[in-house]
């Protein structure tokens, strides 16, 4: 996303922007109780801790936690939808991080 939409290039050293991150949460939970059943929907939530540094501007740095989730039917086998959920959540997280890092109002 950073290369395509911001026309940035990835370098191994001395970059203008630095992003570091770690997955700090990966949880499956019930989300929508249904009468006579434990849950109608489940959700996968992924949380990332991200550190951003603009090496050209000392004031433009931050550390923030980003969290997104995707729901799926409780009747589905998790292994059959997990990759799809991860992809959807990853795209949402990338959009959030991109907006925070590069879109200055």
pTM for the full model? 0.86
Token duo for residue 6: 């911001």
- What pLDDT is stored for residue 32 in this prediction? 67
Predicted confidence pLDDT, tens digits, the chain (105 residues): 888 888 889 998 899 999 999 999 999 988 766 666 666 889 999 999 999 999 999 899 999 999 999 999 988 988 999 999 999 999 999 999 999 999 874
Calculated CA dihedral for residues 21, 68, 64, 14, nearest 10 degrees: 40
* Strand arrangement, sheet containing 61-73: 17-34, 37-54, 61-73
Instruction: Give the number of other CB atoms < 10 A from CB of residue 28.
Output: 14
């Amino acid at each position: 996303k950073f290369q395509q939409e911001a026309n940035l290039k990835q370098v191994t050293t001395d970059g203008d922007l630095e992003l570091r991150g770690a997955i700090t949460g990966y949880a499956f939970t019930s989300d929508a109780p249904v009468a006579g059943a434990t849950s109608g929907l489940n959700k996968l939530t992924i949380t990332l801790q991200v550190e951003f540094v603009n090496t050209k501007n000392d004031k433009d740095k931050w550390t923030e936690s980003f969290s997104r989730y995707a729901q799926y039917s409780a009747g589905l086998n998790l292994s059959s939808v997990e990759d799809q959920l991860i992809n959807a959540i990853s795209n949402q997280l990338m959009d959030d991080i991109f907006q925070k890092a590069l879109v200055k109002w």
